[in-house]
Chain A
Amino acid sequence: MAILKHGALQPNDWLTVAGDAALPEGKPVVISLDRWLKERETLAGRNAPLGLRFKSDQSPVTVADDLERFSLIVLEFPKFTDGRGYSQARILRQRLGYTGELRATGNVLRDQYLFMDRCGIDSVELTDEANVAGFLESLGEFSIWYQPAADKRPTVLSLRHAEPQDRAGASAVVRESVAANWAY
């Protein structure tokens, strides 16, 4: 499964370790929230990067104090109709101040990519059949965003009441570089 991150395809460096299976030495691994809560002490000393994986019904607040330990947090979208991950993402970014990589996995379709991006998700795990070009296209489908979210896109509100030169400038920044939106 390839990763689409900030508009570029990259290989997945992370190994997701299911259940309580042994963790390979020195490799970036993703473990479940349950495992972290059970083995927190032992894992605290781990040198290699650690990632945490949340089910859609689990609360990020449970690890509020440990967030700096995880350079990757993975949010599961078991069905694309399960929209809890969007709130989980915003809570991680905006309430808990998480600055590491936030990734979506599961039933992820291009038509949700913009919503995910707006909620603070950096990367998505793609299936082999996924149309990468389609994903990227979907990010550019809108240049107007009505409400603030976890991203830096200027909302209609801010543009309407900005000074004329700021208004034009802000829109130009957005159109020029989609990557500008990923500065959390």
Chain B
Amino acid sequence: MYRYDEFDATFVAERVKQFRGQVARRLAGELTEDEFRPLRLQNGLYLQLHAYMLRIAVPYGVLSSKKMRKLAFIARRYDKGFGHFTTRQNIQFNWPHLDEIPDILEHLAEVEMHAIQTSGNCIRNTTADHFAGVAPDEIEDPRLWAEIIRQWSTLHPEFAFLPRKFKIAVTGASHDRAAVKFHDIGLKMVKNDAGEIGFEVIVGGGMGRTPAIGPTIRSFLPKQHLLSYLEAILRVYNLLGRRDNLYKARIKILVTATGTQEFARLVEEEWNRIKDGVLTLPEAEVARIQDYFTPPAYETLPAISTELETAKRGDAIFARWVRANTHAHKVDGYSIVTVSLKPEGGAPGDASADQMDLIADLADEYSFGEVRVTHHQNLVLPNVRKQDLDALWQRLAAVRLANPNVGFLTDIIACPGLDYCNLANARSIPIAQRLSRRFNDFQRLEEIGELRLNISGCINACGHHHAGNIGILGVDKQGEEFYQITLGGSSKDDSSIGKIIGPAFAIDQVADAVETIVNVYLEKRAGADERFLETYRRIGLEPFKEKLYGNSQARRPAAE
């Protein structure tokens, strides 16, 4: 993975010093809260419901065991012993004190980490496919490009005060696991007819109040033009994005208002002025960064591991975990392991300091020291030998990190919600907890099959509910919590936005509603192979609406 050179290390140290000065000025009264807010946001510091929240950047989701141990240390020393992995591959701590933040940042700098630009109206953490570098369907490793984008966007002087936040995602595989169509800029690595690899550029996707699937504005961009093209897009957005209305300030609004073709033309016009200039990527730099992503020293192993097969035959529970939580690896004899942070009754995406330390050890022992964060709020050990899966599973299971639910109904994505967040209308974690307890029968989960359920506590949609096969959105009705359900979203290649099914439900009704929806699916599906999303797309909302709201059962009062 990427390692800081002297320049990166100096930069982060200077940033820590700058923020230390800004905190001191705030505490001394030289900065008002209004003046301090954008500064602390650009260092990832929010003021939330009960306390401050610090969002630490995990560039394109990649961590080393050393970094993970430092996060565990911070959790223990400065927080309440746990952290939360987010839908943008970052990690959040919920209880730091303002005056201790500079110290936390200094600790992070020791392991080449920071909290720069994880909030604010600037370019945020660039995310990437969590199976980068190891997936069989990969065209090219996107992490190299994510790192190039990270450096270019760090303290970019022209784009520090954009109309609104800006999120970029990169995927290098034929199957998009990074939800690129739901980002302000999505980059999909593709091969053209000449066999060259470049980027399909997608602009204007997003969640929030007005979810959108981004249109493609350029089907093939040669690699050396990546930064100049991005700069052109950002400049057009910086100048033309709306500044009068916070809720209409994202680039997706600009793309829709301008029209995709005209927007693309504006970008191309600006790009033609600046391309082939200083932003053209020199081969030397690309090669330098690429070196950091050289594959580890894989052993030559048979594709099938007899140890693994024997272990699976001997333990049905282990076999189930292998089915659900492991994924094919491009190298024979290896496996990609997803560490489920969705235990029964747990808060999705949370990990304790002890668990973090254990995962760091497991990464060292089994995965060449590397761990990834996924936007589904799980972790990944990307390079595990098949013959080691049994031993690894036992270690994970001992600390409740082996719930065999990846991709299933209880692999829930949930924002922190009203338990933590100032912006929320309703709590999301208790909904997730109830659902994970209600659907704790693994046979049933497997029977139901692939089903993405996402929960957002408010319309800002940090839980990506629009992209959930089942989406749950918390709404506020006269100060009380209600939940609107949507069906049919997808963040994969077949991107779609979920449709609201009807009036919102009270908190006690949500688990029943989800169960009803699941039963309709099981009843109506065209066979065990038809996934929930496919059934929904075939039969539409009506059958679900009827069972949820229809006259066949006594109507319970639900909010409008």
Contact = CB atoms under 8 A, between A and B. Distances in A.
User: Are any A and B Cβ atoms less than 8 Å apart in their complex?
Assistant: yes
5 contacts: A80-B38, A90-B235, A131-B30, A142-B18, A144-B7
Contact of B158 (A80, A90, A109, A144): A90
B161 A82 contact: yes
Contacts of A109: 35
A173 to B, nearest CB: 16
A10 interface: no
Contacts of A57: 243
A81 B30 contact: no
Contacts, number: 101
Contacts of A80: 35, 38, 161
B239 A84 contact: yes
B7 A83 contact: no
A87 B274 CA distance: 13
Interface in A56-88: 56-57, 59, 80-84, 86-88
B121 interface: yes
A119 interface: yes
Interface in B151-208: 151-163
B243 A157 contact: no
B282 A84 contact: no
Interface in A135-150: 141-149
A160 interface: yes
B14 A81 contact: no
Given A142-B18, A143-B10, A84 B279 contact: no
A160 B243 CA distance: 38
Given A147-B152, A148-B279, A160-B285, A119 B157 contact: yes
Contact of A146 (B17, B151, B239): B151
B14 A86 contact: no
Contact of A114 (B11, B157, B243): B157
Contact of B155 (A56, A81, A88, A142): A142
A172 B544 CA distance: 69
Contacts of B39: 111
- Give the top 5 A-B pairs by smallest Cβ distance, nearest first: A83-B161, A118-B157, A115-B157, A144-B11, A148-B278
Nearest to B17: A141
A16 interface: no
Interface of A: 56-57, 59, 80-84, 86-88, 90, 95, 109, 111-112, 114-116, 118-119, 131, 141-149, 156-157, 159-161
A148 B22 CA distance: 26
Contact of B157 (A86, A95, A144): A86
A87 B158 contact: yes
A91 to B, nearest CB: 8
A141 B18 contact: yes
B284 interface: yes
B288 interface: yes
Task: Select the residue from B30, B155, B159 with max chain A CB neighbours within 10 A.
Answer: B155
A161 B284 contact: yes
Given A87-B235, A87-B238, A109-B35, A146 B160 contact: no
Given A142-B14, A160-B288, 10 more contacts: A83-B162, A109-B35, A111-B35, A119-B157, A119-B158, A141-B18, A147-B227, A147-B279, A148-B278, A160-B5
B239 A82 contact: no
Contacts of A119: 157-158
A83 B14 contact: no
Interface in B491-510: none
A167 B473 CA distance: 54
Contacts of A147: 151-154, 156-157, 227, 279
B273 interface: yes
Nearest to B278: A148
Task: Select the residue from A84, A115, A157 with max chain B CB neighbours within 10 A.
Answer: A157
B42 to A, nearest CB: 9
A98 to B, nearest CB: 15
Contacts of B153: 147
B396 to A, nearest CB: 38
